[in-house]
């Protein structure tokens, strides 16, 4: 199994940390992982994306031009990455802030109202975990228990009290992902 | 069981420095390697092992701190990125001349000049042909994964002290900034002053009673004495060339074509090889792990086996390709492909170059 993922959005949306938690989850179940970030020098507010690869085999290139899954969180990233999804692949996006919805017919498209769900849950910072939940519902490549173990590894101990909230956010994301086509 | 972590290449290098029992790190921040000194300052190795971490006032100062620390037999290290490494060349030449061990990591970025902060491999010439003035070489190790960013630190120190020379670890912003799984090795002890005195009879730790003064210098005003020092250095370099070549061969057994690539280019090229083989093109990868000494014999063996062409894939305008050509000596085709200035080539671009320049060319 090899899953090649691009997660793309604005800096500050938690794109990089979502990728990191996913990568850690892969390690927790003895897989090979790579995480390669790309962001503008301006960071917050600028575009940010991360390529995450989870595989049972040794990973070759950590940078790619075609992906099994694209998780897209703003319009710039939609413009840039919709066409980079491999035929038969998956595109998951948050429609909040998207003016031009994806149109490809040869891939599976899902919507996740990450920003809306996070706001309803009373904490916009868990937005990325809602989106992660949506992804894991579509592609259960890592087990939820390993995601929680990954969270524990990637969060400083003083934030461990937030793990139950993050777990709830993932669960809410799993419930709220909608197939579009 | 070994400790598993998800780390950036730069962080793995920094943690490995602590675990190798390094005595001092003297650095100056520059993107894309600043995580090295950031990690060390946060990790406080001065509390864990007694290792000193100091932000010098400049790269020139940090390399000269290595001259002083290495001269006393201590394990000392610095890291920087291309423009900073250029500033260190004078110090490296002096240390090569005075035979002072140290380890320097270059997390290469796009150049020339101030360039940009994206990954590149355009410091190859500087790394393998000397870099500073005078007749010298530095052993150069090229990690291709975060794991190797960790593993090559103790290897570099072994070489540095075995041959009394600065050793260069050359990586780039891709390996430095990416995160992968790392198995960390066990903490090694720092040497005591007594152990240093026993092992390194050249270390300038004060004149022991009844012995001659220990002098570390690269200044020999008598040309015959300087030539003698050069003979000694050249003999050392021939020994390193004979004994320390390191490389990896991937899918070369049945290969008709060979990609030669190191560091992040070798990772990208491994994907190209998968794509090429899916189309029936038999291509393998020769990955130099030591850039100097360069793996000439394995290339020679591949030529003798009848390989039809070599493609040197580098994030530069074509530097390593010269060493490949020197080895192949026109017996078969050698071409270069690379993007530069911080642009990372895609596996598909490399495949296209392989087809047009080598297979069909």
Helices B9-19, B35-43: axis angle to 10 degrees equals 50
Nearest CA among B291, B298, A136 for reference residue A128: A136
Which residue, among A60, A66, A142, would best test binding to B if mutated, counting the most B CBs under 10 Å from its CB? A60
Pairing verdict, β B257-260 and B283-288: parallel
Q: Do A35 and B180 touch (CB under 8 A)?
A: yes
Q: Do A20 and B179 touch (CB under 8 A)?
A: yes
Cα B28 from Cα B220, distance rounded (Å) = 31
Q: Do B264 and A62 touch (CB under 8 A)?
A: yes
Closest Cβ opposite residue B178 in set A32, A34, A60: A34
Q: Which residues contact B33 (CB under 8 A, 6 or more apart)?
A: B10, B79, B80, B81, B105, B107, B176
CA B275 to chain centre: 29
Q: What is the CATH number of domain B3-193?
A: 3.40.50.970
Nearest CA among A36, A104, A57 for reference residue B174: A36
Q: Which residues contact A97 (CB under 8 A, 6 or more apart)?
A: A73, A74, A75, A115
Cα A127 from Cα B84, distance rounded (Å) = 40
- Per CB-CB distance under 8 Å, the chain B contacts of A64 are 271, 346-347
The DSSP annotation for B209-265 comes to TTSPPP---S---SHHHHHHHHHHHHHHHHHHHHH---EEEES-TT-SEEEE--HHH
Would you call B117 an interface residue with chain A, using a CB distance cutoff of 8 Å?
yes
Which residue, among B9, B179, B250, B273, would best test binding to A if mutated, counting the most A CBs under 10 Å from its CB? B179
Closest Cβ opposite residue A24 in set B6, B268, B273: B6
Cα dihedral B294, B296, B301, B302 sign: positive
Q: How far is B251 from chain A (nearest CA, A)?
A: 13
Q: Which residues of B183-201 are buried (b: 16+ CB within 10 A; e: fewer)?
A: ebbeeeebbeeeebeeebe
Which residue, among B5, B43, B181, B272, would best test binding to A if mutated, counting the most A CBs under 10 Å from its CB? B181
Nearest CA among B263, B273, B256 for reference residue B123: B263
Q: How far is A49 from chain B (nearest CA, A)?
A: 12
CA of B180: how far to CAs of A19, A110, A130, B89, B279, in Å?
A: 12, 29, 24, 31, 29
pLDDT digits (tens, 9 = 90+) for B221-274: 999 999 999 999 999 999 999 999 999 999 999 999 999 999 999 999 999 999
Closest Cβ opposite residue A63 in set B6, B270, B344: B344
Q: Do B268 and A20 touch (CB under 8 A)?
A: no
Cα A156 from Cα A151, distance rounded (Å) = 9
Would you call B21 an interface residue with chain A, using a CB distance cutoff of 8 Å?
no
Q: How far is B140 from chain A (nearest CA, A)?
A: 23
Strand partners, B284: B258
- Per CB-CB distance under 8 Å, the chain B contacts of A41 are 117
Q: Do B3-193 and B248-359 agree at the fold level?
A: yes
Residues A20-26, mean pLDDT to the nearest whole number? 95
Would you call A36 an interface residue with chain B, using a CB distance cutoff of 8 Å?
yes
pLDDT digits (tens, 9 = 90+) for B141-153: 999 999 999 999 9
Would you call A63 an interface residue with chain B, using a CB distance cutoff of 8 Å?
yes
Q: How far is B348 from chain A (nearest CA, A)?
A: 8
CA of A29: how far to CAs of A69, A155, B284, in Å?
A: 20, 18, 31
**3-state SS record for B6-62:** EEEHHHHHHHHHHHCCCCEEEECCCCCCCHHHHHHHHHCHHHHCCCEEEECCCHHHH
Torsion of CA B33, B130, B76, B79, to 10 degrees: 0
Chains A, B: CB contacts within 8 A come to: 61
- Do residues A106 and A88 lie in contact, with contact meaning Cβ atoms separated by under 8 Å? yes
Q: Is B221 exposed, middle or buried (0-12, 13-18, 19+ CB in 10 A)?
A: exposed
The DSSP annotation for A74-133 comes to SHHHHHHHGGGEEEEEEEEE--TT-SS----SSSEEEEE-HHHHHHHTT-GGGHHHHHHH
Q: Which residues contact A156 (CB under 8 A, 6 or more apart)?
A: none
Cα dihedral B323, B327, B330, B336 sign: negative
CA of B304: how far to CAs of B300, B312, B329, B361, in Å?
A: 6, 18, 12, 21
Residue A41: pLDDT over 60? no
Residue pointed to by tokens 């995580």: B35
**Where are the domains positioned within chain B?**
3-193, 248-359
Closest Cβ opposite residue A61 in set B179, B181, B271: B271
- Do residues A109 and A91 lie in contact, with contact meaning Cβ atoms separated by under 8 Å? yes
B115 Rama class: left (phi>0) / alpha (psi -120 to 50) / beta: left
Residue A43: pLDDT over 80? no
Helix (H) or strand (E) holding A135: helix A127-138
pLDDT digits (tens, 9 = 90+) for A80-95: 999 999 999 999 999 9
Other CB atoms within a 10 A radius of the CB of residue A95 amount to 15
Query: Looking at chain B from residue 282 to 341, which residues have their Cβ under 8 Å from any Cβ of chain A?
Result: none
- Per CB-CB distance under 8 Å, the chain A contacts of B346 are 63-65
Domains along chain A?
2-179 (3.40.920.10)
Would you call B250 an interface residue with chain A, using a CB distance cutoff of 8 Å?
no
Cα A136 from Cα A151, distance rounded (Å) = 15
Using pLDDT thresholds of 50, 70 and 90, give the confidence band for residue A97.
confident
Q: Per-residue pLDDT tens, chain B, 361 aa: give them.
A: 578 899 999 999 999 999 999 999 999 999 999 999 999 999 999 999 999 999 999 999 999 999 999 999 999 999 999 999 999 999 999 999 999 999 999 999 999 999 999 999 999 999 999 999 999 999 999 999 999 999 999 999 999 999 999 999 999 999 999 999 999 999 999 999 999 999 999 999 998 889 899 999 999 999 999 999 999 999 999 999 999 999 999 999 999 999 999 999 999 999 999 999 999 999 999 999 999 999 999 999 999 999 999 999 999 999 999 999 999 999 999 999 999 999 999 999 999 999 999 998 6
Residue A45: pLDDT over 70? no
The two structure tokens encoding residue A116: 């809306």
Fold that domain B248-359 belongs to in CATH: Rossmann fold (3.40.50)
């Amino acid at each position: 199994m090899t899953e090649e993922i691009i997660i793309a959005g604005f800096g500050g949306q938690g794109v990089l940390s979502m990728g990191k938690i996913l990568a850690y989850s892969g390690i927790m179940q003895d897989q090979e992982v790579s995480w390669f970030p790309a962001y503008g020098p301006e960071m917050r507010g600028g575009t940010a994306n991360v390529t995450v690869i989870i595989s049972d085999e040794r990973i070759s290139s950590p940078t790619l031009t075609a992906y099994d899954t694209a998780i897209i969180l703003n319009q710039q990233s939609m413009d840039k990455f919709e066409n980079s999804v491999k035929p038969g692949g998956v595109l998951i996006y948050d429609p909040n802030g998207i003016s031009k919805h994806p149109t490809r017919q040869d891939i599976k498209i899902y919507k996740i109202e990450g920003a809306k769900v996070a706001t309803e849950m009373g904490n916009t910072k868990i937005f990325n975990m809602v989106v992660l939940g949506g992804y894991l519902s579509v592609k259960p490549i890592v087990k939820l228990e390993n995601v929680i173990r990954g969270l524990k590894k990637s969060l400083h101990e003083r934030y461990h009290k937030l793990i139950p909230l993050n777990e709830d956010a993932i669960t809410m994301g799993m419930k709220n992902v909608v197939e579009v086509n | 069981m070994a400790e598993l972590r998800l780390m950036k290449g730069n962080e793995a290098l920094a943690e490995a420095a602590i675990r190798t029992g390094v005595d001092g790190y003297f650095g100056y921040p520059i993107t894309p390697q600043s995580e090295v000194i950031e990690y060390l300052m946060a990790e406080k190795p001065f509390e864990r092992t007694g290792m000193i971490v100091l932000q010098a006032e400049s790269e020139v100062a940090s390399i000269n701190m290595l001259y002083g620390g290495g001269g006393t037999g201590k394990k000392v290290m610095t890291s920087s990125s291309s423009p900073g490494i250029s500033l260190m060349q004078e110090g490296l030449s002096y240390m090569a001349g005075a035979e002072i061990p140290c380890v320097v990591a270059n997390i290469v970025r796009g150049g020339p000049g101030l360039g940009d902060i994206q990954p590149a491999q355009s410091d190859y010439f500087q790394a393998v042909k000397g870099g500073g003035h005078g007749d010298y070489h530095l052993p150069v190790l090229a990690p291709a994964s975060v794991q190797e960013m960790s593993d090559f630190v103790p290897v570099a120190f072994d070489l540095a002290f075995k041959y009394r020379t600065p050793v260069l670890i050359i990586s780039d912003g891709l390996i430095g900034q990416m995160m992968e799984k790392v198995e960390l090795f066990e903490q090694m002890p720092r040497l005591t002053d007594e152990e240093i005195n026993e092992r390194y009879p050249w270390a300038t730790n004060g004149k022991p009673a009844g012995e001659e003064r220990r002098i570390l210098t690269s200044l020999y005003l008598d040309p015959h004495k300087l030539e003698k020092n050069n003979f000694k250095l050249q003999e050392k370099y021939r020994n390193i060339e004979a004994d320390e070549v390191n490389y990896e061969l991937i899918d070369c057994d049945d290969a008709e074509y060979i990609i030669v690539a190191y560091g992040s280019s070798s990772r990208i090229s491994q994907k190209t090889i998968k794509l090429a083989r899916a189309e029936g093109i038999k291509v393998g990868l020769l990955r130099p792990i030591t850039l100097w000494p360069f793996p000439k014999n394995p290339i020679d063996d591949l030529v003798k086996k009848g390989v039809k062409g070599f493609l040197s894939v580098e994030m530069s305008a074509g530097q390593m390709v010269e060493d490949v050509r020197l080895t192949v000596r026109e017996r078969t085709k050698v071409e270069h492909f690379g993007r530069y200035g911080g642009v990372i080539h895609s596996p598909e671009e490399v495949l296209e170059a392989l087809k047009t320049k080598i297979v069909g060319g």
